[in-house]
Structure 1
């Protein structure tokens, strides 16, 4: 059951990415504008004197969204591969390959969405996010393994 569920999580997450990428530029811009405004309000609560170039900040928010959405995809993908028995460097390479392949296909998909375009730099940002997600997953896995080994030696 865990094997199937881990794969379902990937498909659902990819579906979310596809849905977000299917939004015309105007609709996507409104969504990122809302997120930008929420971030600006939060920052202004901490530091009321902060000055913003809203267009530039919105661009940063959009690129961070790419990074973090694919960070989650990287974690979900390596987790599913590990649960399904893929190990070692092969697991890391497959996970990264799947994420970058999906990011590339997503950029091609955006060519057909009104007001959107494909950008190679977004594939690099997506790949970096996936890579960081995979790395975090591996680091946490090593930390958990070493913690459980230390706990067993104390008993």
Structure 2
């Protein structure tokens, strides 16, 4: 219905409708993820199964589910080269993948057509890695930045 109405409204109203559609899509994805997690006993066990995993492999696995979204939006998605060799981190494989999917999806979703999303992994020292998902989208409005993590608590 929003798509039908969208063609009959002015630019400000279209932007509001786009924001509503984005929020509904995000809620739908979140609900699907939560239902999947709650239904699967094996996933429940995996949530608490901490071990060592290859961060670059995880990035590629998480990004594979977002390639279609990036292509559809015309966004270039750049990932670390698998040839860099393993970068082992400790954590729950499934939780790390969900985190990465969410970060990558948001970077694509809130980007502009023709934009870029780059996932990088760097080394602070021999034992610490940094992960960055960078994009050239619109970003978070300054007045909303303090609310980013509100839904987590």
The TM-score range, normalised by the shorter chain, is 0.3 to 0.5
**Higher helix proportion:** 1
| Greater Rg by CA | 1
**Higher strand proportion:** 2
* Higher RCO, 1 vs 2 (CA within 8 Å, ≥6 residues apart): 1
TM-score relative to the length of structure 1: 0.33
